Amino acid sequence: MDITGKLVFRDPKLIIKDVAIKGVPVRVYQPKAPQSLRRGIIHIHGGATVAGSIGITLIGYSLSPEHSYPLQFQQCLDVTVHLLEHAEDYEVDPARVIVCGDSFGGLLTAVTCQVVGQRRDLPKPRAQILLYPLLQMVKFNLPSYLQNGRTPILFKRQVLRFGLQYLKRDISITDLILEGAHVSEDMKMKYKKWLSVENIPEEFRKREAKVVTPAPPFRDIYEGFELAASPKLSPLFAEDEVIRQLPETLILTCQYDVLRDEGILYKKRLEENGVPVSWCHLVDGFHAALFLVNNVFFHFPCTKTGMDHVVNFIRGL
């Protein structure tokens, strides 16, 4: 069992150690076979900060609702900085460190890489991998939200409820935020260029969905939600000079996922700023599909396709 009392998969070819870095539980997997400095992967799990554990991830950051923003981000940043600074202590080449995250972990990964990319005292991550990432908390009526709002395993309302828990806000205002009442007119104009549906390929806009008319801004709500559009909660809105410093990126999106369009929009932002991007879109995929890669009961072709793409991307670095 691990330090949380959960059963842990053991591989005879691996050394698995539970350590604490900056007070954060971290599991380290290292091959037993001796070799020169190798690639290293820092994985930040998803679960909307309310699920997931060290049993399946590298960084065991604190979970909501007991813990809230900005603790989770700060923990992921602290661990990433430490591992970049001390990569060789883990037999990892500091120039070949990859930061990876899925779902909400994709948001934490994107933000961590943006912050680390601005520092001149650290080795740069070799790449970032964003698996069906959450990348903005401003617009909840993108085509993927309208088309897949009730598609398992992640519903539109769940995204917002988890976000409100992360921010320690009252979930009773969910409906108003889904209608866009938390966004001022100035904010809508400022981020319109990055959230425009015109930036999403036509093929993703074809499936019919009920169009939602945005609600007028509700001052009592939006005056407390300026943070929602900040890069630390909506990395899609980071300035161009920040985006330009990002490493090579793999973005994986799924057709039947409310977060699909955020990944597509971020891909466009990266490409426009000269960041090399590999894109894997699973036409039969759904949110968290890769989580089932070793599941003995459920098998989906998209799971293997997506995982093969991720593995090949890593091998090519």
Peptide bond into 65 cis (omega under 30): yes
How much is the mean pLDDT over the chain? Answer: 86
Contacts of 103 (CB under 8 A, 6+ apart): 46, 47, 48, 131, 132, 133, 134, 154, 259, 287, 288
- Count of beta carbons in the 10 Å neighbourhood of residue 89: 9
H/E stretch holding 94: strand 92-102
Read off the pTM.
0.90
Which of 53-67, 81-95, 209-223, 290-304 is modeled with the greatest confidence?
A: 81-95
d(CA 252, CA 282): 8
Backbone angles phi, psi at 37, to 5 degrees: -55, 135
d(CA 130, CA 102): 6
Asked whether the predicted pLDDT for residue 189 surpasses 70, the reply is yes
pLDDT value of residue 217: 58
Please give the angle made by the CA atoms of 2, 47 and 245, to the nearest 5 degrees: 105
Known catalytic residues?
103, 257, 287
- Count of beta carbons in the 10 Å neighbourhood of residue 290: 22
| Class of CATH domain 14-315 | alpha beta
Asked whether the predicted pLDDT for residue 196 surpasses 80, the reply is yes
H/E stretch holding 105: helix 104-117
Nearest residue to 137 via CA among 222, 72, 71:
222
Contact (Cβ atoms closer than 8 angstroms) between residue 137 and residue 166: no
DSSP lists the bridge partners of residue 250 as 129, 278
Contact (Cβ atoms closer than 8 angstroms) between residue 77 and residue 112: yes
pLDDT in tens, 9-67: 567 888 888 899 999 999 888 888 877 889 999 999 875 433 343 335 478 777 656 66
pLDDT value of residue 7: 43
pLDDT value of residue 270: 98
d(CA 5, CA 122): 35
pLDDT value of residue 59: 82
Q: What is the mean pLDDT of residues 199-219?
A: 72
pLDDT value of residue 219: 60
pLDDT in tens, 107-146: 999 999 999 999 999 999 999 999 999 999 999 999 999 9
Which of 3-7, 26-30, 40-44, 203-207 is modeled with the greatest confidence?
A: 40-44
Residue with tokens 């799971």, as numbered in its chain? 303
pLDDT in tens, 279-298: 999 999 999 999 888 777 78
